[in-house]
Chain A
Amino acid sequence: MKMPLSRLAHARSGDKGDSANIAVIAWDAAAYQFLAENLTARFVADYFASQIKGPVERYEAPNLMAVNFVLRGALGGGGTVSLRIDAQGKTLAAELMGMEVECELDVPAERP
């Protein structure tokens, strides 16, 4: 079944220089297991291919049921260099949460 990532997780994004990070936090243990197995750096890099120049790094934090992504060269130079409206990557989290994934988990339609 296709579903947006927002059914499985919530996220917040921010900047550090020209890099952005997106912390993806699973709603529950089953969702975390799915994300840990399926939400790869490659998957995320392909999704953002039109917006970022550098590689994507991926870190797991099982204690938080979270996967953190660092997107290099993601902000058009970052800081005051960038010409983008979203120079600090504030909207990247919502963008990633809109990603459609194939997932067989039975998850609630609404999350807190």
Chain B
Amino acid sequence: MIRVANGQGFWGDWVEAPFRLLRNGPIDYLTLDYLAEVTMAVLQKQRMKRPGAGYAHDFPPLVQSLAAELMERGVALVANAGGLNPGGCAREVKRLAPNLKVVAVSGDDILDKLDEFQAQGCSLTNMDTGQQLSEVRDKVLSANVYVGAFPIAAALANGAQVVVTGRCADAALAMGPAIYSLGWGLNDVRRLAAGVAAGHIIECGAQATGGNYGGRWQDIAGMDEIGYPIAEIEPDGQFVITKHKGTGGRVTAHGVKEQLLYEVGDPRAYMTPDCIADFTSLRVEDCGADRVRITGARGRERPEQLKVSINYAAGWKATGTIVYSAPHALEKARAADEIVRRRLARVGLAFEEIHTEYLGVSACHGANAPAMAEVAEVQLRIGVRGQERGAVERFTQEMIPLVLSGPPGATGYGEGRPRVREVVANWNALLPRELVKPFVEVIE
């Protein structure tokens, strides 16, 4: 049995979690998940400004802080913090933690090969909309293939104490250690499907241990010191989700089911580079305090095509807010929205979208929000998006004047003019897997 923990559900998750997982009890592998869909685009912008960048810059210093305890406890660290530059990230880790064996997994970045692949007949058509890539080709910022867990296992077989990857399937971070330690092969579809389930359940950190729980969250104690999830994986693929004793939060079958289906489409066919897992085959049952056993995993062989995540520049946007108080808070906010829209129309600005929300009234739940006779205050939130930066810039000048020239009692404008931000859109496509060659690099 191996214990695989996850101490980071996204880049920016609780900074204490990795340290606590090392100190609060035994684990064999510590995984950290840094990459969301848009993260790659953020990293590409950083790489354009500074060629050596393109990875989670705070990861190497984190490894430096963790190094002594990783070695003392014999825990290997697996993280996709490499982003667009796993080699560069791994070298910086090695520089700051020279006593650790560091291995990079690269080969997922296909930005430089897009035209070559298209010339070879790979359309890279948008899976969701059917659009041709040529429509946005000149705006592409990044293009990465989701690679699987076997390169991570290869890195561990090379003796890695730290594995730094680029874009890989989130579940691969936990599957790599299982494949390596438990001797799973490419054709062990049931075991791989179990590994997908285990990796998927722990990839979002404390969402498996009581965080963001949809039931009686009030009964979950100790969220301030919530334990992050650990998968105890057996050689045959069955596993237990748990957390360290004495930590906060809660692990129950109901909570684990929520996470198992989180961001999932068809539960019978959860696609990963290593197998297509069937989550409807799983038995999920409580088996002790803060322990949930998962058995019965089935799946189908790995797909012939891998998913590509392309990010492209898609214009500009800005969002401005102002607060109105009672009496008539909502009426005031509606009047202010009308004023802004008329002023924008009068100067002839066109946007792809102008979107207004009333926070405190209906912003999250729209028409299903509970009706209220009178609200104490409401935050007006107006967002615009368009292709011309200048038009969006002009919008940012229209919010604060409302304080003096609109309905009475406007406040909450302390942050000044809204910031104009570049819009990065995501484009998913498929690519034959033989075109992708992940490789490992031992950093000396």
Residues of A within 8 A of B (CB): 10-12, 14-19, 21, 23, 25, 27, 47-51, 57, 59-64, 66, 68, 70, 76-81, 83-86, 90-91, 93-95, 97-99, 110-112
Q: How large is the interface on B (under 10, 10 to 19, 20 to 34, 35 or more residues)?
A: 35 or more
Q: Is B38 an interface residue (CB 8 A)?
A: yes
B423 and A80 contacting across the interface, CB-CB below 8 Å: yes
Q: Given A64-B284, A78-B426, A95-B365, A23–B262 Cβ distance below 8 Å?
A: yes
Given the known inter-chain contacts A61-B267, A79-B38, A80-B423, please indicate yes or no for A47 contacting B254, CB distance below 8 A: no
Instruction: Say how far A1's CB is from chain B's closest CB, in angstroms.
Output: 20
**Closest-CB distance, A45 to chain B (whole angstroms):** 13
Q: How far is the CB of A43 from chain B (nearest CB, A)?
A: 13
Q: Contacts A25-B254, A61-B280, A78-B426 given; indicate if A83 touches B384 (C-beta within 8 A).
A: yes
- B374 close to chain A: CB less than 8 A: no
| Closest partner residue, chain B, to A97 (CB atom) | B214
A110 to B219, CA, bound (A): 11
What is the CA–CA distance of A17 and B193 in the complex, to the nearest angstrom? Answer: 24
Cα–Cα, bound, A72→B268 (Å): 19
Contacts of B383 in A (CB 8 A): 83-84
Specify the main secondary structure of chain B where it touches its partner. mixed
Interface string of B397-435 (1 = CB under 8 A from A): 000000000000000000000000101111010000000
Whole-angstrom CA separation of A94 from B207 in the bound complex: 16
What are 16 A-B residue pairs whose CB atoms fall within 8 Å in the complex?
A11-B258, A12-B214, A16-B263, A23-B257, A50-B367, A57-B266, A63-B283, A77-B353, A77-B385, A78-B426, A80-B41, A81-B424, A83-B319, A94-B365, A111-B216, A112-B215
B265 touches A21 (CB 8 A): yes
B261 proximity list for chain A (CB < 8 A):
12, 21, 23, 25, 61, 64, 66, 68
Q: Name the contact of B258 in the complex, choosing from A23, A51, A80 (C-beta under 8 A).
A: A23
- Chain B residues lying within 8 Å of A16, measured Cβ to Cβ, are 263, 265
Asked if residues B216 and A11 are in contact (CB atoms below 8 Å), the reply is: no
Given A25-B254, A79-B37, A83-B353, also A98-B368 (CB < 8 A): yes
State whether A25 and B257 are in contact (beta carbons under 8 Å apart), knowing that A17-B37, A81-B385, A81-B423 are contacts in the complex.
yes
- Nearest 6 interchain pairs by C-beta: A83-B383, A23-B261, A10-B214, A83-B355, A14-B263, A12-B258
Is B25 part of the binding interface, using a Cβ–Cβ cutoff of 8 Å?
A: no
